[in-house]
Amino acid sequence: MTSTGFRAIRVFVLSFSLLFAGVLFAQAIEPLPFKNHTEELRFQSLTRELRCLVCQNENLADSNADLARDLRREVFEQMQAGKSDAEIKQYLVDRYSDFVLYDPPVKPSTWLLWFGPLLILLAGAAVVVVTVRRRSRAGIAAAPAERSSVNEEDDW
């Protein structure tokens, strides 16, 4: 076989292994022994309302982090103990603060969560407006001085 043949085989094997590399690291979420389908739906709904504290942009239902698995197990155990959704959420809020909720209540301690992105956006817009105004003023002041020093032949 020629060197191009070996190179083609290497490229094929590398491409094939990269294509399925994610499968090697994928971990299934462990099944839990629910009493009935209603309890399973309640669990799924509740874990969608809670944030993974490791990933932060995923809910407990979708996250595969170790802490998320532990929290799902904790939610399940509390459901088995007969606690309501509100009690389970309050338990997690007491341990991890309102940040664990995907929809935290609007109160003074969560104002930064609710209004922080808007404040950052407004500050960025203010910086852009100030910068544009300064540049336009500097451009207007510099334009007449530049015109007088340029020869008429240099104009396009």
Dihedral angle computed from the Cα positions of residues 54, 57, 59 and 64, in that order, rounded to the nearest 10 degrees: -50
pTM for the model stands at 0.55
Fold of 30-104: Helicase, Ruva Protein; domain 3 (1.10.8)
Q: pLDDT tens digit string along 2-51?
A: 667 667 777 777 676 666 655 544 444 567 788 888 998 999 999 999 99
- Identify the weakest region by mean pLDDT among 32-46, 95-109, 121-135, 136-150: 136-150
% pLDDT > 90, the chain: 34
In this predicted structure, the answer to whether residue 152 has a pLDDT above a threshold of 60 is no
pLDDT at residue 56, as a whole number: 75
Say if CB 60 and CB 52 are below 8 A apart: yes
Number of Cα atoms under 13 Å in the Cβ half of residue 104: 20
Residue 43 corresponds to which tokens in the numbers above?
Answer: 């669990």
Alpha helices in 108-153 (DSSP H): 111-149
Grade residue 144 by pLDDT with cuts at 50, 70 and 90: low
